[in-house]
Each structure stands twice: as structure tokens, then as C-alpha cells.
Structure 1
Amino acid sequence: MNMTSKRFSIRVWFMLLLIATVAVSPLQAYAAADNDRPWMNTSLSAEERTELLLQAMTLEEKVGFVTGKVNNYYGFYNDGLERLGIPALQMADGPAGVRIANPDVQDKKSTALPAPIALAASWDLDLAKKYGDLIGKEAYNTTHNVLLGPGLDIARTPWGSRNFESFGEDPLLTSSMGTAYVNGIQSNPVLATAKHYILNNQETERFSTNAVASERTIQEVYARPFAEVVEKAGLASAMCSFNQVNGTYACENQEMMTDILKKQFGFKGFIMSDYGANLSTAKSANAGLDLETPGEPFGKWGDQLLTAVKNGEVSQEKLDDMVSRILLQMFEKGLFDNPVQNVKINAKANGKKAREFAEQSMVLLQNNDNVLPLSKKNMKSIAVIGPDADNASAAGGGSSLVNPTYTVSPLEGIQKIAGKKVKVQYEPGTDPISGGDAFNGPSAVPSAILTPSPAENSYGENKTGLKAQYWTNIDMEGDPSLERTDGQVNVNFGFYNYEGFNAQSPKLPLTPLSFNKKMSARWTGSIKAPATGKYTLSLTSLGSSQLYLDDELLFENKGTTLSTTKKEIELTEGEAHNVRIEYRSDNPPFKGRDMGPQIRFGWEAPEEAVDAKMKKAIELAKKSDVAVVVTRTYDSEGYVDRSDLELPNNQEQLIREVAKVNPKTIVVQMSGRAVEMDSWKDDVEGIVQAWYGGQEQGNAVARILFGEVNPSGKLPVTFPVDETQTPVSKEAQFPGVNGIGDYSDGIFVGYKGYDKLNLKPAFAFGHGLSYTDFSYRNLKVKTKGGKGKNKKATIEVSLNVRNTGKVAGSEVVQVYVGSLPTAVETPEKQLAGWAKIDLKAGKQQRVNIELDRKALSYWDEQDNEWVMPKGDVPIYVGSASDDIRLSGSVKVGSPSGK
């Protein structure tokens, strides 16, 4: 055969092969090549691949697939199936970065980003997507394909210990930021997990509290963010919470999981339990739970679920649905086709992004006499003061705590930008903030007025503090297992004392994990009052504690619950008194949840009682041109919320004392929640809410203070005057009575509740100043479209915004709608849209904002649908919820009211 004939034969052969291939389905063509795993054919749809793989799985494999596992070194996962080529779901805690559990992966380090509450303060959807994309990439490149975030829990109370993981108090802001975040994560082969579904709005009694809320409240406020990320971001998974919802535990709640999330919202993904939140086998599976994550001391699925399926308590169809939901997301998001990898994180590049996120999040709360930005030309010295101003590890604790690739403290950042010509000096002023500051009670007695016995056992400067002896039993039996000097008696072990969490307090000694459960302790030494007067000494403890003064029992605290006992006494300046404190963790908490030992030796002192450490800070402030006081709260997941808003560990006194001697005092507040400022706000010139700013927080703080970045953040939560003046200040509302948390505030969460109750906050929702000014004018409101069948009209607000100052800046233009024209009670003001714009000095821009339809509607409990009433609705445009610049109105609705 000649070459021409050969070429012709080859061409004919290829044509016949092509015809044969076209004549059969892609699956048949692929199966001819690989009959073992046809679901690996990428030309098939995710649904087709899921169905093929489901048919190949045995009953035992299906049950094993939906039953999660745990490994202390490698984190949480469900088993993959090598026989079928199913990759394991390797989960990483979020949502403020990737929390790596495996010590073999990049030394467990990843980029520590600003807390989500900080991201929310940027009001920047593009930034939120970039934030999510960075986390998604780092998850994938550190061997993870599931990221446990975002947190979509509404910040219902201003003091919530986990508020830092949220996007604030408003459902529209939370929905929009959460959607952008999820889209960013899932642009990578990584599944996002929205948590905690649902009504998980407090840490106190979070494992057992029964959150009681109306259907309208759930639909309009708490479920809405989940609905939005399902609809607009294709959410892969959701995590059900520990608490009860209207009398049924969330992970057994068919109405919440199946009726609302899956059916009403159209959720195609899967629901996993929080770790240990699943309390049943058949009940949870039939209610809509799809994946059990590991429980303590053991889970309820595994062999028990296998038996339930065989016995008919859980149908084969239900099990198949559970498995299919997980597989579908794995196929859709590319987990089968893009195995996780271990690629070194670019610490420098991602750290720069972390700094940019932090800069956009910081909120200038107060700027009297334009004390900010600081000018290097007009000053020679700066006093940096605060217990953790030199600590680069200030962050929210718990499962979201990230081990950073590197860190920059506020002190380092200020020193760097100030340069060599400005003298920057540091004094802490108070003792370091620790896990002991996470719970209520008076501030701990300062180490500076305590002397250990014997003094030679002490650590730290000037041999201060008390001698501590620890036992791993509750009776102080035998020799102590640990002896040292503690600067303060301010203990919060258990959840707050294990690998990683204690890194937040690097100035304090590490405590062995053996003391995290049963223990007893004794602290001895002496106390010297810094001024003559009346002092109230206290013990706050979970477990029994006694305070002895000069070898006589002053009082005891039974500590059956975490509580405070105190007594007022007269002390004379400089007069030493022997002190002994004994503690036993002999009152275990509820339902096997070990909160760990908790005790604080506290005081309430006369204003003139200033200890030696604080005096050193005051002296430094007095001789400096500017004083920057960096304060901090300790916010963390972990069984309890503070129910007050005070700064812990004598920081409020520190601010007041510094402000007395330096008229240019600026407070930089690092927290994930609101703080009470009433006792010192009027004494200082500037206040910057810096949140938990991630690993580059020091550089971001400094760049804001010196004007290298113009602050543009706006509060995503209201800062009340104090804890008694909020919409949820009744005990029945928080923490609840007899195990019931009454959501009687209904839809009036956050600023809506402040408006309804006529409560004036310290700083309103949406508040945030700039180094420039913006003018608003020429408001227009118009309705567009909606004439065709099933077409819905859109309402658009437009206005001119001009930068009337001398520097470039960004403004968040906020639009609120007023009360709706209906007999149903609606908020006086509700966020309906916003736009963040950048303007150079003197420039103007026409801003167009489309309003959210749900802000113009309410949930009708009788008809189970959103209703937009007919009539005129007020429109308010401003720079904050209490700073309305323009107003108008719009006619909405239809004759039917639907």
C-alpha cells in the first residue's frame, strides 16, 4: 500500500471513529475507555457524575461518607474512598484566615486577616470578594478543600464574645458582605460553610439555650443572610448550631433545615453539624442533617446510623439524598478534578493584602480639633501606652484564631512611620490582657501592688505578683504540680488554654494543659494599697474560692455558677497585708461541657489609687507631645459572653489618667465588639476603632494615624452608651431565663431597636469620620421597569456627592427607608442600599444606588411570603444612620400589596 492510500485509510478510520462516538452518549464513550469510574468524565454534568458515583457506593460506604472523623493533628475531615476515587473533605477552621492543624503543613502558619467584623466595617463588596479569594487560595494551597466560614450570625447583642466573627447587626449588610465573601472562596476548589444556622447569637449557654423567635423575626433578620448566599453565591454547605430554636435543637430542626433552608431557599448543598452539636441518629438525619462532624465523647452516626437505615428508621432514599448533596458540591466546585496541594504561601504579598484590608476597615470615631492625622513636622515625641501595644498577636480567639506568617505590633508600626526624628517610647501602663479578661467581674488587682511570698520565686519586673501553687486535683493533695509567680490572679483555663490560644498573651507564662479540667490552686503574698481609701476586693469564680487577709477569711465565693462575691474594706497607703487565695474547680458546668477553671481576684479602687506601673505610663505621657493609648478586649468563642462593655484590666483608668496630663491623647481600640466609652470619651481627642486587624495591624494603625491612609470605615454595629441602654438589656432577652432566650426585640435588632426605644448611642450604626468632608445634594428617587408580566420594578436613588476637603478620601453613602405604609409595625429606618466611592479633593460624582426590595417589604406570617405594601415610603440618605443629609420619598407596591 502506498503512502497516499495509507493516509486515506487513516482518515477514514478517524471519521468512522468520530461517527461512532457521536452516535453514543459521552458517558458511553467515556465508559468504553474507563468502565471502572465513569463519574470521572468531566464532560458530564455534576448531577450526572453524582448519580453514577452514588450507584457505585455500598451502604456501608455511604454511612461512612456522611460520618465525620477527627484527628488532633490533622483537623476535621470525612473519609475519602480510595476505591471510588472520592477525595476526603479536609476542613479548616475560619473565617478570619485558614487555621492549619497539621504541623507538617507550612509550620501551621497562614495569613492572619482582619476579623470579619473589620471587613464589614469597610462596606466594600469588592474587598470582601478579594478577602474570600485569598482565604480560598490559602485553604487550597494548605491541603484543605472545605473552609468553615463565613459566620452569618447577626450581632444581636453589642457585647457578644463572637461578634468579631460576624458582619454586624444588619441583615442586608451581612447578606451582601457574606455573598461576596463566599463567591471569593468558591472561586477556588474550596467549599464555603456558612455558620451557625440558626439563632446562634450568644456564647453564654450556647449549648443548651432555647432561642425563641417569631417566624417574621427569623425570616427578616436571622435567616436572610443564608438565603442570600444560597441564591447569589451557590453556597456549598451550612453548619447547624448547638442551640435550640423554638424548642428543638438546631441540628434536629426539620422546619429550619429542610422546610426553610432546603425547600424555601432552594439550598442544593449539604448541612453539617457544629462539632458535637448532633445529639441523635434518626431524628437529625430525617430532619435534614447531611454530615455529622465529630462529637464528644462520641458521635451519633457511624454504626448507629447504619443500624437505623437497616431498621428503616432512616430510609435509603434519605441516606442517598445526604450523600448526593455532598457529592454534588464536590463535583460542582471542582474537588474531584483539583486535588488539594501544599504550595508555600507568599507571606509578603498576602501580608500586604492583609494590611490593605485592615486599612479600609478602621473607623475614625472621634477627631476633636483635628488631632489626627499626626504630623511628623509638628512633634518630637510620642508616648505609646497600653498593655498590648507591643503585642502583635491581638486577635479574636477560639476556632478562628490563625497562626500568622509574621506580625507587626502597633508600637512597631508607629516607630517605623514616625522615623528617627520623632522619639517613640513605650510603657504598658497595666498588666497584659489574657483569657481571664473574657468573663465578667471587676478588673483584676494589678500586679504592681502585689508582692509574692517568697519574693525570689517571682518573674517579671520588680518581683511583683503572687506566689502560685497548682495541683491537678481539687483538694490541694500532695506536692504542687506547678509553682511560679503569677502577676495577677486572672485564670481562664479549659477552652482558653490550649495550643495556639495562649499565644494571644505572649507576656504571660504558658500553663500546662493538665490544669484545664480538675485543679486547685493557692496564691500567697502581700498587698499594698497605692492610696488610702475604701477598696472593694472581689473573687469572680466558677468553683469555690476563698480570700484570706492577714490569715483571716475575708469572704468566700461558692462559685456554683460563674459569679462574683465582694467586700468593701479600708486600706492605708503603703501598708502591707498578707493575702491568700484558694480555689477549687469543684463545680463542673452543664452537660459535660468543661469550661475549665475560672477565677479572678478583682478590685474596685478609688480614682486616686494609681499603681507604680500606671504612674510610669503617666510620666511618659506627660513629657510627650502626643499620647497614643492602645487598648484591647479579649473576645473569643468559648462558653461565655461578657454582659458588660467595659474595657478589662484597669484600662479605663489608664486612659483617664493619661488624658489628664496630655491634651493630645488618642485611643486606638482593638476589639471585635463595642466597648463602653462614657467614662473617658470626652477626655480624649481622638478615637480609632481598629478592631482585630490581622497580622499587619500595626502598620495599618500607624498609616491611619499619620494620614498615609484616609480612614473610610463605618461601624457595622451600634456602640451604646453602656450595657443598660440597648434593645436587649432585659435578662429574659440575654442571657435568658430558665434556659429560654426571648427574642422579644423581634425585627428591631441593632439600630432599629435604638430608634424604636429612643435610645441615643455613643456612636451610631454607619458612623465613621474622615480626614476630609463630603457634601450631598440633588437627590432623585425613581422607579424603573416592572411593566411586563412577572417583571419587578426597581427603585433607584441618585445624588451628587462632592469631596469638599483638601485630601482624597472614600465615602460610604447610605440609603435608609422609613416606616412602610402598612398596619404591620416596621422600622423607622432600615438600610436599603449603599455605595462606597473614592473622590479626590474638590471632585464630584453622581452616585446611583439600587434599593433592596426586601427593605421595602415585610414577611407575612399568614401567607408565608414577602409583601411590599402600597403607598409612599420615606427615603433617607446620609453618612450614618444618625447623620441624614437628604430625604425624599417613593411610591411602592401594587394594588394587591404583593
Structure 2
Amino acid sequence: MIKTSTKFQFLTVALIVTLIITPFSSVAAETTQQWDDKSLSAQERTELLLKNMSLEQKIQLVTGNLNNFYGFYNEEMEDLGIPALTMADGPAGVRIANPDIQDKKSTALPAPIALAATWDVDAAKTYGELLGNEAFNTTHNVVLGPGLDIARFPWGERNFESLGEDPLLQSELAIPYVNGIQSYPVMAAAKHWILNNQETERFTINSVASERALQEVYARPFAEVIEQADLSAVMCSFNQVNGVNACESENVLTNLLKDQLDFDGFVMSDYGANYSTVESANAGLDLETPGDPNGYWGDDLLTAVEEDEVSEERIDDMATRILTEMFSKGLFDQPTVNNQIPAKEHGKIAREIAEQSMVLMKNENNALPLDRNELDSVAVIGPDADNASAAGGGSSLVIPTYTVSPLEGIQNEVGENVEVSYAPGTDPISAGDILPGPSAVPSSLLSPVNGEENEHGLTAEYWSNIDREGEPSLIRTDNQVNLNLGFYNYDGLNADSPKLERVPGEFNSEMSARWTGQFTVPESGEYTLSLSSLGSGKLYIDDELVIDNQSKRLKTSKKALSFVGGEQHDIRIEYSSGESGGQQDFGGMIRFGWEPPKDAVDTKIQEAVDVAKKSDVAIVVTRVYDSEGYVDNSSLDLPNNQDQLIKEVTKANPNTIVVQMSGRAVQMDTWQDDVPAIVQAWFPGQEQGNAISSVLFGDVNPSGKLPMTFPVDEDSTPVSDENQFPGVDGVSDYSEGVFVGYKGYEEKGIEPEYAFGHGLSYTTFNYRNVKAKAKTKGKNKELELSVKLNLRNTGDVSGSEVVQVYAGELPTDIDTPAKQLAGFEKVELEPGKQKRVKMELDPKAFSYWDEENDEWVTPSGEIPIYVGSSSEDIQLETSVTIK
């Protein structure tokens, strides 16, 4: 439906070459079993195999088990020749859990939200092909991805795994993504079905949405991938959907997914998301992945069949769905292999996608691109600009084959003739920064008990019990009190900076701790100190209790205090996770935060200011920490005092460029007017440094467009009511209906900071001569809509523009969006060149879901059509009349 440039065609060739180099050399041993006949269809082979399976074997097939710590599998059934399903987390690269497989290293791709920012289906196909290639060549035959959860609100901690806030954009990228994965003997498992749009209380939250919202928004990407990419599997989620657990809801698993959307593949549960035996089996779950401790199927499911609570026909349906997909995708005939990943070749692909994903948010007076020939000195500033660990955490985190930091990339770009200085400016970003509340008190203002002269931080004592009983198990100096344990602290699941010392795993559940030392006041004035914690947190200043934070939920408490500059005050913080520490992977959570007076600057920021003053240009590389888990930080502020860092650096050097590495929106209103240029770099993958420098210095003309709206602040979004997020009494009300993302901003009249689809370029484009057409075709009178226009590159350099077409409000009494994405095309043009752009439009953008009749309805009448470079920057208007 939607055309793009051929930018990534050569990348696909690289993958084909890799496939030739690493052929499907390991073929199953020859047998005389009938279902090994490759001349038969997948359905025929499944029928033959199923006839030879006992009830016990079928239940063994549909019950997942954790073969070992290093991977998610259901075990091989050797006597029947059924291979194991070897699953790998996959939204941003193949996460290898087994240390015996290539040292657990694979290509760290840009985050899926970065892929979405390319608006390029060729890039999505290449992305999927690389995933399929690396999964197959690292012994995996199932990739747990793509993530098709709509980015419902801008602060979602898992937005980085998403393909954006719009269902059409998600669909058009997910189709080639899945086709790319499944071009190898690898199955894709799209996740999470359905309404899995927040991490806060994700295990228990009841997501309540209308049928129309389900159909028009949240089910759309799944529906398109099922129809156009032969999707193998869908993963159901932890949350409830309209009062019923997602993995035991007949309405969403069978009625909607299998019957209405005609899904022939199998439904697997998220790990531990199945909470029942009979209910989930009868509702439509087909594969239970390993739970805690042993899941609900296996022997319990066998008993349920023997007691006629679950029919044997339902078990046959489960097994048929799984086996048919395994046969059709080649898993029986082409066993996975362990062939070394070509690191440099695949790293080049990661870099190309990262370069195309970067969004030039602001560029006053052509501050970018930088000219290396006019620079003598560059300051690179940022807490993690000198390492390459900026990636989303949780199950999406991969260990890269190699890395290039932003600092290294800029040094490579400018060469030896330009002096490059580095200053971190703040403490490193960590999982603690997901917690709500003010930024952590900087380490430079803290001194441990009996510490060395220049030693910073607080003396930390850790106990593996909740009452600080006995001698502490660990004593050390912690830079900050900024702790987030449990899920975020397991090996391979945390993306903490290598500068930070990890807390041993023995403290991941119930624990207690004490931090002691001194706080040095940088400037006289009123300070607000805070504790954000789960469990029991107490803050003592000079032995006086000033904050007593007791809560079984994450809570932030504050205390305003006046201090005199230069004074030192004794600090003691006592913490216990309480008994909540062992529930749902919750661990210790606590942050000692502050809100300083305006003029209070700690030494780390001052060092960055000094470096910026003596440099021709300052490049501030910011970062946030995003990860799945159990909390969404609804603050859009940059964590760990980075907002203050930017403000102080821009005072010292007005030629300051900000590069943001995040998987979600961030708030910029306090500093963006003072900086001439901002680049949204997302989480750019292992080649992040080279990709960032290529854009900053003009080797690549940025063409990325925002796949999600950036608001002015947290209170100015369509989902800022607490009933919508985080929910009240365990219920998240999707009361915005179909008005998600940019559609909601327009519907409520909320002005965003940066609109959906926004993205600048180093060149300019002119739009002219738009025409729209509607016609019906065939016996079913299927609606076909198209738009034509002229696009010219009116600037001095080559560049790509994403032409976006939006359908206007529909001629009906039903409330419909004022604008809804109906099509897009990425067009690459040389300077002065023009192209007549023609694109087909999505008929569903001109339709709505009729809840009374359970069908799509396209109203007759005139419908406005808007063409532009974002949902706000409309260049041309026309209309189309549907009869």
C-alpha cells in the first residue's frame, strides 16, 4: 500500500550473502515417519503426526517448560521428531541467554521506536531479516516480537519496544518486519495481546476499553500482520481486558483474534501470564510458557481433560495450530545452527537504520550540521556519552557484538585536528531513575563515613533480611541512594552504566539497608529533600527524623529545609523493602532526591560548564532509563539533574546542541528555547556513536519523523486523568476511546510541543498540485482511494521527506478524528529534483467500527484530505467524495 525509497535495498543483499555463507546445513536425520514427507502440505503433515500422538504427548507439546536457565523452551520430543521451540526475546535484537552461544552477543539494533521513526518499510524488512538471520544462526527458532502495543501515553516505560502511537504506521512497518523474520525457519510471536499499554501494576491492572477502541486502534496492527504476513504466534499479556485475564478471555482470544481476525497460528502466554488451567484452555490459549513455579497446565491439564472440563478436541486444536506453524515455517526440516554472526556487516545495517531514525527536532539558524573544518574544539557532555550502554532494559536488552559510544563517534568524525573534551556533568543513569520523584542528590555533594579526601557518596550497608538483623552482608560506598532491584537487577536484564557497581543478586528480594555520611550544601537557600520508596524509608538529618515514608506502594515524600552554603550535615537513611519485596519480582526501591535552589550547582555540573566555556561547540548527550518491569515514571523530566546540566551549559556556551537518547518523550520546556538544535536519537543501537556523529556533521541528512507526540508537559496529554493512568482501584479506563495520540490532542484542543510526524531536514521541500480519487472495484465494490501530488527538493542537499496523508472528520454523527493517518511515502530527492508522488490510502481511515452491527462502516459524503510533513504541518488540502 505504501511506497518508500530504496535506501535499504543493499542492506537486504548483505543478509542474503550471509545466508549463502551460513546455509541450512544441519538437516534432520532421515526417518521413515510419514510426516517427514516434504512433498505434503503443512496441514497434511500435521494431521499425520497428530494421529500418532497420545493425549499425554499432545499436552507435553502445549505445555512449555524451562529446559535450563539459559533459554525459554518447550522440550524436544525426539521419538516423534518434534524439535524444541527455542525462543529468544527479540524486539530490538536477539537476546541470547545461553553463555555457550557466541558469548551471548548479538547485534544491538536501534530500538523499535527508532525503527518506527524511519517511517520506512524497506528498513523494517531489513530489520526483520537481520533478526531472523541472527535468531536462526544462534540456535533460536522463535523470536518474541514484534511488540505491537500502541504507545498510548508519552511516558510509557515500554514505548521504546513499540512502533508508535498510530495503528496504521505500526501495521505498515510490522508487516515487512514479520515477513523478514519468517523468511528464515523462524517464527515470529507478536506481543502483547491485548491492551498491554502500561507497566504500572501490569500484572493486575484491568484495562477497560470500548469495542470500537479495540477494533480501530489496539487490534489493528495484529489484524494487518495476520492478514498480510502469515504471523505464526501471538503472545497474550498479564493484564485483564474488561475484567477478564487476557490469557483466559474467550472474547479476545477466540471471538476477536481467531474467529473475526481469522488467526490460524497459536496463542502463547507471556511468561507467567497464565493463571488457570480450565479457563485459559477453553478460552483459546494454545501454549503455556513456563510459569512460576510450574504453571497451570501439564498434569493439571491432563486431569481436566480426563474429567471432561476441557475437551480432547480443544487439545487437538492447540497441537494442530503449533505443529502446522512449525511445519509451514520449516522448523522440522531446517534445524537451527550456531554460526558466528558477521559483526561488522550487521553492525553496518544497525548504523544505517539508526541514521535514518534520528529526528531533527529543532534547528535554529542552521546550527546543524556542524562543519568540522570550522571547529577547533568540541565539548562532549553527558553522564553516559562516553559509553555505549544506552538501550532499553528488560527482556529487550541484548549484549552487543561491539559498541561505539557517542564520544568515540564524535572523535572519529572530527579527527585529530579538533580537540574533543569530555565531562559527564551528572552521575550515570541507572534503573533507579525509573522511580518517581525528584532527581537523586549528586554524589559530588555526599561524603562517606571515614572516606578518603576526594571520595564521594555514602557508606552503604546491606542486609538480606528486612530488619537489618545481624552483621551486614555487604558494606561499600554508593555514589547515590538510587536503588531499583528485583527484576531490574538480574544478570542480563539491567542496562546500568558499566560505571555503576551492581548490587549482588542476593538482595533482589526482601532486603534492608542503611546509608550514612555527610551532605555538603553547595549554595545557601531552601532545599526540598525527598525519599521515593517502596516499603519503609526514613531520612535523618543530623540525627533528626525529617521523612518517614511507609508504604506498600511506591511513594514520594518531601521536606523543605533551609541550609547555608558550605555547611555539612550528617545524613542517615534507613530502608527496608518489607514483605512486598518478594512479590512479582519486586525488589528494593528507594531514591534520596532533591530540588535545589536555582543557583545551586554541584561540582560535576560545574566541571561540564568549564569544559563548555572553552569549546567552540558543546554537545550535551542526555539519556533516560526505560525498561519493562512494574512502574511507569509519569514524569517527563530528564532524570538525574540533566535538565539543570543543560541549562547551566547553555549559559556558558550558547552554541549548545542537545542529543537525546530515550525511548519515550521527554520534557524540554525549561531549556529548549536556549539551545539552537535538538536531535532525538532514541536508543540507537551498538553503532550509536557513529550514527549520531554522521547526523551532527551532515554526512547523513536527518529524515526521521516522530512516531509519537511529544507533549509540553505531563498534564497536557489526552490521558492525563488518573482514571486513565495509572488507574483507580486497579482499573485503567481507556475513556479517550479512539482518540489516541495525536488524534486525542486535536480532539481536546491540546497543543503539543512536537507533533506526531514532526521532523526537520537539512534541505527544504515544496508540495504542489494535490489530487485525490475514490473508486470502487470488483463485485464486492471494495473502496480504493489514492492521492497524487508533486514534491520538489528546493534546498541544496539531497534528502528524504516522509509525505503524510491524513483523512479528515467523517460525514457521520459518530465522533471521528479530525485527522487520521491514511497513508505515507518516504521520498528521496536530489537538490532541485521533483517527483510525482502517488500513494494508495488506507480505506479504514475513512471508516469506523459500528459497535451495534459489529462491522466496519464507510459513510458516504465528502471527506477532507490533508497532506503535509506532520499532523500539524499541513501543506496541501483537498477532499474526496465517497458515494
Match of 2:797 in 1: 807
Are the counterparts in 1 of residues 435 and 591 from structure 2 also a CA contact under 8 Å?
A: no
Does residue 105 (structure 1) correspond to residue 101 (structure 2)? The answer is yes
Q: Does 1:676 align with 2:670?
A: no
Which of 327, 332, 336 matches 1:336?
A: 332
Query: In the alignment, what sits opposite 2:749?
Result: 758
Task: Compute the displacement of 1:724 (Å).
Answer: 0.1
Distance (whole Å) between structure 2 residues aligned to residue 547 and residue 555 of structure 1 = 5
Q: Which whole-Å CA distance do the structure 2 matches of 1:200 and 1:351 have between them?
A: 31
Q: Is the counterpart of residue 713 in structure 1 residue 735 in structure 2? A: no
Q: Secondary structure at the match of 2:318?
A: helix
Matched, 1:819 2:809: yes
1:504, CA displacement in angstroms?
2.9
Q: Which residue of 1 aligns with 2:20?
A: none
Q: Report the secondary structure of 2:869's partner residue.
A: strand
Q: Does 1:581 align with 2:577?
A: no
How many angstroms does 1:559 deviate by?
A: 2.7
Contact 2:510 2:579 in 1 (8 A): no
Q: Distance in 2 between matches of 1:34 and 1:732?
A: 60
Shift of 1:587: 4.6
Equivalent residue number for residue 170 of structure 1: 166
Deviations 1:177-198 (A, max 9, x none): 1111101100110000000000
Matches within 5 A, 1:410-809: 410-456=406-452, 462-588=454-580, 592-786=583-777, 788-809=778-799
Instruction: Tell me whether 1:859 sits opposite 2:849 in the alignment.
Output: yes
- Asked if 2 retains the 8 angstrom alpha-carbon contact of 1:815 and 1:833, the reply is yes
How far apart, in 1, do the equivalents of 2:556 and 2:792 lie? 54
Give CA deviations for 1:698-726 in whole Å, capped at 9, x if unaligned: 10000000000000000000000000000
Paired residue type of 2:149: D
Distance 1:683 1:659 in 2: 7
Encode CA deviations 1:714-752: one digit per residue, 9 max, x unaligned: 000000000000000000000100011000000000000
1:833 maps to 2:786: no
Give the match for residue 215 of structure 2.
219
C-alpha spacing 1:680/1:52, structure 2 compared with 1 (3 Å): same
SS at match of 2:198: coil
| Matched letter for residue 348 of structure 1 | K
Question: In the aligned structure 2, how far is the partner of 1:467 from the partner of 1:411?
Answer: 32
1:252 paired residue among 229, 248, 254? 248
**Equivalent position SS for 2:529:** strand
Q: Deviations over 1:751-794 (max 9, x none)?
A: 000000110100000000000000000111122452x4114131
- Cα deviation 1:783-808 (Å, max 9, x = unaligned): 2452x411413111010000000000
Deviations 1:35-58 (A, max 9, x none): 941000000011000000000111
How big is the shift at 1:73?
3.1
Contact 2:430/2:495 (8 A) holds in 1: no
- The farther-off stretch of 790-799 and 486-495 is 790-799
Question: How many Å apart are 1:478 and its aligned residue?
Answer: 1.3
* Partner Cα distance (1:269, 1:570) in 2: 63
- How many angstroms does 1:502 deviate by? 3.7
Query: Matched residues in 1 for 2:425 and 2:659: separation?
Result: 15
| CA distance 1:56–1:626, shift in 2 (3 Å) | same
Give the Cα–Cα distance (whole angstroms) in 1 for the partners of residues 60 and 732 of structure 2: 36
Distance 1:769 1:370 in 2: 11
Displacement of 1:551 after TM fit? 1.5
**How far 1:444 moved relative to its partner?**
0.3
Q: How does 1:50-89 map to 2 (within 5 A)?
A: 50-89=46-85
Equivalent residue letter for 1:333: K
Provide the residue aligned with 1:891 in structure 2.
Answer: 881
Cα shift readout 1:401-458 (whole Å, capped 9, x = no counterpart): 00100001100000000111111110000000000001211100000111111104x9
CA contact (8 A) 2:205 2:730 kept: yes
Q: 1:158 matched to which residue of 2?
A: 154
How far, CA to CA, are the matches of 1:68 and 1:408 in structure 2? 38
Secondary structure of 2:302's counterpart equals: helix
Q: Deviations along 1:185-230, whole A, 9 cap, x unmatched?
A: 0011000000000000000001111101000000000011110000
Where does structure 1 lack aligned partners over 5 or more consecutive residues? 1-32
Q: Distance in 2 between matches of 1:538 and 1:415?
A: 39
TM-score (normalised: structure 2)? 0.96
Unaligned runs of 5+ in 2: 1-28
Per-residue displacement from partner, 1:112-171 (whole Å, max 9, x unpaired)?
Answer: 000000000000001101100000010000000000000000000100000000000001
- The answer for the alignment partner of 1:21 in structure 2 is none
- Whichever residue aligns with residue 613 of structure 2, its letter is K
State the alpha-carbon separation in 1 of the partners of residues 378 and 67 from structure 2.
48
Cα 1:726/1:72, change in 2 over 3 Å:
farther
Pick aligned residue for 1:265 from 261, 281, 302 = 261
| TM-score normalised to structure 1 length | 0.94
RMSD, aligned CA: 1.2
Pair 1:144 & 2:140 matched: yes
1: CA distance, partners of 2:667 / 2:86: 41
Per-residue deviation, 1:595: 1.2
Quote how far apart the aligned CAs of 1:885 are: 0.2
Contact 1:561 1:587 in 2 (8 A): no
Distance 2:220 2:524 in 1: 56
**2:223 equivalent to 1:231:** no
Q: Secondary structure at the match of 1:448?
A: helix
Q: Do residues 130 (structure 1) and 130 (structure 2) align?
A: no
Using the TM superposition, give the Cα deviation of residue 275 of structure 1 relative to its aligned residue in structure 2, in angstroms. Answer: 0.4
For this pair of structures, how many residues does the alignment match?
855
Confirm or deny that 1:41 pairs with 2:26. Answer: no
What's the offset of the Cα at 1:501?
3.2
Deviation of the 1:107 alpha carbon: 0.5
Distance 1:34 1:598 in 2: 55
Structure scoring higher RCO (CA < 8 A, sep ≥ 6) equals: 2
Shift of 1:488: 0.4
1:502 and 1:510 in contact (8 A); partners too: no
Q: Is the 8 A contact 1:240 1:274 kept in 2?
A: yes
AA paired with 2:846? L
Distance 2:339 2:783 in 1: 48
The 3-state SS of whatever aligns with 1:558 is strand
CA distance in 2, matches of 1:404, 1:791: 51
Contact 1:784–1:796, Cα closer than 8 Å, also in 2: no
Task: Flag the structure with larger Rg.
Answer: 1
SS in 1 for 2:224: helix
Q: Deviations over 1:643-678 (max 9, x none)?
A: 111100000000000011111111000000000011
Report the AA paired with residue 371 of structure 1: A
The answer as to whether partners of 2:67 and 2:75 remain within 8 angstroms in 1 is no
